[in-house]
Amino acid sequence: MAATDNSLSNTASRLPFQIPEKLIHSLRQAQKITALTGAGISAESGIPTFREAQSGLWARYNPEDLATPQAFERDPDLVWRWYDWRRKLIASTRPNPGHLALAALEQKVAQFALITQNVDGLHAAAGSQSIIELHGNIFRFYCNRCRRPAPASAAQAQSPPQCAYCRGMIRPDVVWFGEQLDASRLDAAVKAAKSCDFFLLIGTSGFVQPAASFPYLASKAGATLIEINPAASAVSTIVEHVLRGPAGEVLPGLVQTVWPA
């Protein structure tokens, strides 16, 4: 992944709407902000989302064939090649102004947690620190049999390499449908959702559990919800402030407006 200029100076605010004064004021008072990101935040980096009708990965590929443990058992080479293709695509991208704005936001509030469903590593590349990678990371690997971590050099292989310990098959460290999420990451995400003043929902369709339940947990615990997405999501109806637009424009505008340098 290319190194990146971690400043917001070139991301001029082009917000197509006014942020209400009351919201600006209460965001400035916030002690803890939690953000949940999805594929939409990386769309402006050139990484396809999953469920968008024309451009989403699931419009071209069947998740049952590629993103389930059964698929990997049935045809490990096919699944391996698909992840290899995506890993190469992701490796050629850079964080966009939306990722950079979240990294800047982390420095503005006393407590900040970033829960991401993305496996692309772009939040870390943008300089975010407090990241919970809920669905794993496409650049990491582990053994499908003994679960031990495998070296990153597995990425060079053309088909799933063998585990050095048990000869099981190495797989990408991502969470497939029907698999449990890592318990400590899930626990940290639930705690972050339940303990924040503001919960930001950014670029996620809100269909996939358990992440889709986090806005409900946050709302029930008294947080104010803000959604940043050009389109409605499955959870828009419970959101107090909907900021309709691409994350790469709305987030820098929001951060610059609320916390001018």
Q: Which of 136, 127, 122 is nearest to 106 (CA)?
A: 127
Q: Where does this chain touch Zn ion (CB under 5 A) — which range of 26-34, 73-81, 164-172, 228-236? A: 164-172
CA distance 79 to 18: 45
Question: From Zn ion, ligand BJW, none, which one binds at residue 135 (CB under 5 to 8 Å depending on kind)?
Answer: ligand BJW
Instruction: Please give the angle made by the CA atoms of 187, 84 and 177, to the nearest 5 degrees.
Output: 40
Edge-first strand listing for the sheet containing 170-174:
149-150, 136-143, 170-174
CA distance 89 to 160: 19
Q: Where does this chain touch ligand BJW (CB under 6 A) — which range of 28-36, 125-133, 152-160, 204-212? A: 204-212
Q: Which of 133, 162, 135, 137 is nearest to 148 (CA)?
A: 162
Binding residue (CB under 5 A) for Zn ion from 61, 165, 177, 207 = 165
104-128 b/e (C-beta count within 10 Å ≥ 16 → b): bbbeebeebbbbbbbbbbbbbbbbb
Active-site residue, 25 included: no
Between 146 and 234, name the residue whose CB sits nearer to Zn ion.
146
Which residue number has the CB closest to ligand BJW?
Answer: 40
Find the shortest distance in angstroms from Cβ 158 to Zn ion: 20
Q: Where does this chain touch Zn ion (CB under 5 A) — which range of 28-36, 69-77, 124-132, 142-150? A: 142-150
Question: From Zn ion, ligand BJW, none, which one binds at residue 143 (CB under 5 to 8 Å depending on kind)?
Answer: Zn ion
Active-site residue, selected from the candidate residues 25, 99, 135, 241: 135
Position 168 contacts Zn ion (CB under 5 A): yes
Question: From ligand BJW, Zn ion, none, which one binds at residue 165 (CB under 5 to 8 Å depending on kind)?
Answer: Zn ion
CA distance 158 to 132: 29
Q: Which of 67, 235, 44 is nearest to 136 (CA)?
A: 67
Find the shortest distance in angstroms from Cβ 173 to Zn ion: 13
Position 227 contacts ligand BJW (CB under 6 A): no
Provide the CB-side half-sphere exposure for 200 (13 A, CA). 31
Find the shortest distance in angstroms from Cβ 142 to Zn ion: 8
Taking 3-state DSSP, the helix, strand and coil percentages for the chain, each rounded to the nearest 5, stand at 40, 15, 45
Compute how many other C-beta atoms are within 10 angstroms of the C-beta atom of residue 71: 19
Find the shortest distance in angstroms from Cβ 29 to ligand BJW: 26
Position 78 contacts ligand BJW (CB under 6 A): no
Between 51 and 111, name the residue whose CB sits nearer to ligand BJW.
51
Position 163 contacts Zn ion (CB under 5 A): yes
Helices of type H across 94-246: 97-106, 122-126, 183-194, 214-220
Active site residues: 135
**Where does this chain bind ligand BJW (CB under 6 A)?**
38-41, 43-44, 49-52, 56, 67, 117, 119, 135, 174-181, 203-205, 207-210, 229-231, 233, 246-248
